[in-house]
Amino acid sequence: MTGKLFVIGTGPGNPDQMTPEALRAVEASTEFFGYFPYIDRLNLRPDQIKVASDNREELNRAQAALERAAAGGNVCVVSGGDPGVFAMAAAVCEAIDAGPETWKTVDLVVVPGVTAMLAVAARIGAPLGHDFCAISLSDNLKPWEIIEKRLRMVSEAGLVIALYNPISKARPWQLGRAFEILREVLPAETPVIFGRAAGRPDERMLVMPIGEAEAERADMATCVVIGSPETRVIARPSLPALVYTPRFLKDASR
């Protein structure tokens, strides 16, 4: 008889953004597999065991968790944000797909969470109020040429774009190149939101036009949201600006 495998997200980092369903999954689990900072966000009991690993060990982590669940344990795989958005739910499914038949009998429960682009959007207004997409700028798992192609296509389609994994010490140039590509299509006044650590004490929200956007404004704790040509900025006296994308597209020929 197999156990149960929960895959949860802790949200963008604010404890209040972790869902009640995810908290119940934590309560029901005895072993926890995840990246060090994400597991450390949990308040575990003395009888609960955590198995932390590095950020690039997603598939090994998924396999280890499945082995324990297949042996009868109640196991929890921990992601940041939402586990299904550039996170561990896909790695677990990939491991099941390529693994032994016993892993296909594990009771898998993927618990939806709050992903970074939703937290940033909520803090700044409603930039995702119309059609949007999410793209990871990390080329660890896909060729950079594919990322460039997708950036061009979605900007030409008029979508708001949320950029995950925008920049790191190992990947210092991709965000700057992404801005160059987007400037070829988007008006210079298109707003860009640098949403860092949304909901946490070190939160920082910065809005600037894409014509002036600087990659150095971002780090790996930042979700960068690029508006569409329809996205608007509302200046407010003594209050931060609001950014929103209207629900109605005036020019149906776009």
Domain limit, last residue, from 82, 110, 138: 110
Domain limit, last residue, from 69, 89, 110: 110
Cα separation, 168 vs 96, whole angstroms: 30
- 170 and 70 assigned to the same domain: no
Cα separation, 37 vs 13, whole angstroms: 10
- 92 and 127 assigned to the same domain: no
Residue 160 lies in a domain: yes
What's the first-to-final CA gap in the chain, in angstroms? 55
| Number of domain units in the chain | 2
- 141 and 224 assigned to the same domain: yes
For the record, the structure tokens of 135 come out as: 């793209």
| CATH number of the domain that residue 171 is part of | 3.30.950.10
| pTM for the predicted model, two decimal places | 0.93
In which element (H, E) is residue 90 found?
A: helix 88-98
Residue 252 lies in a domain: no
Domain with 205, as residue range(s), is 116-244
Domain limit, last residue, from 110, 140, 158: 110
**Do 194 and 205 form a contact (C-beta atoms < 8 A)?**
yes
Angle at 59 between CA 55 and CA 64, to 5 degrees: 100
| CATH number of the domain that residue 88 is part of | 3.40.1010.10
Would you give per-residue pLDDT tens digits along the chain (254 residues)? 679 999 999 999 889 999 999 999 999 999 999 999 999 999 999 999 999 998 889 999 999 999 999 999 999 999 999 999 999 999 999 999 999 999 999 999 999 999 999 999 999 999 999 999 999 999 999 999 999 999 999 999 999 999 999 998 888 999 999 999 999 999 999 999 999 999 899 999 999 999 999 999 999 899 999 999 999 999 999 999 999 999 998 765 54
Amino acid identity, residue 71?
A: A
Name the residue among 208, 207, 209 with its Cα closest to residue 188: 209
